[in-house]
Amino acid sequence: MSLVQATKASDEAAPQHVAIIMDGNRRWARQRGLPRAVGHRQGLAAVRRIVEGAAELGIANLTLYSFSAENWNRPADEVEDLMGLLRIYIRQDLKELHRNGVRVRVIGEREGVAPDIVALIEEAETITADNRRMTLIIAFNYGGQDEIVRAARRIAEAVKAGRLQAEEITKPVFAGELLTAGIPDPDLVIRTSGEQRLSNFLIWQAAYAELVFVEEFWPEFTRASLEAAIAQYHSRERRYGAG
């Protein structure tokens, strides 16, 4: 993607919702002979610059896949490093996010998460609830299949209780039971590090998203990288299955 194309993307209307699978922190560190923790810290630096860049580009909703439900299976010391970085990000960046008009919303299951992290998440969501410049959605302890199963269970319970008739179950009704209720589906999903799969991320919501896979590891991802991905998005014709 040329610089001219990336610049052109910034002149067009930004996608309403961009979602990013932030992949490659560990491989970035391994290639440099560094500990995994260094890769994750550089990944946090990338989060900061991309959140700022997305707001400046006029992206209304930015979702970052920060920690999947499957990531608990990683080595205990790595999981603790990741939890520590989440604590640092919320504690250090919340004031600036709030000052810049960013609303924070965290999707994912909170059961089993450390109480202090849950408290920080709730504080961030409460303080920024009225902000309208951009919504930053952090997918933490999140899995798309589990999200769908839980939504189906709630709908089944509503039918059983007589609050909902089976024939009233529609796609909008189902979407209203997902963790992303009230957030538009992503227009563009970006994955870094060269891998080409969704890895259980927004699998209902991304049904008609444009997918862009980039070779850069997440610590290398910059605002220019984001603009290049948006340029690819603008180069495509979105038909939503119409032909």
User: 212 near 189, Cβ under 8 Å?
Assistant: yes
**3-state secondary structure at position 87:** helix
Rg of the chain taking only CA atoms, in angstroms: 18
Q: Is 185 a catalytic residue?
A: no
* Alpha helices (H) along 12-170: 25-31, 36-57, 76-99, 115-127, 144-160
* Alpha helices (H) along 144-242: 144-160, 171-175, 223-235
Q: Is 100 a catalytic residue?
A: no
d(CA 186, CA 205): 7
Order of strands across the sheet that contains 17-21: 102-107, 134-142, 61-68, 17-21, 188-191, 210-213
d(CA 43, CA 86): 11
Q: Which residue has the tokens 């992290």?
A: 117
Which among 11, 25, 61, 71 is annotated as catalytic?
71
Number of residues in the chain: 243
Please say whether the dihedral angle defined by the alpha carbons of residues 225, 240, 194 and 103, taken in this order, is positive or negative. positive
Which among 23, 93, 185, 187 is annotated as catalytic?
23
User: 228 near 221, Cβ under 8 Å?
Assistant: no
**3-state secondary structure at position 112:** coil
Annotated active-site positions, please? Answer: 23, 71
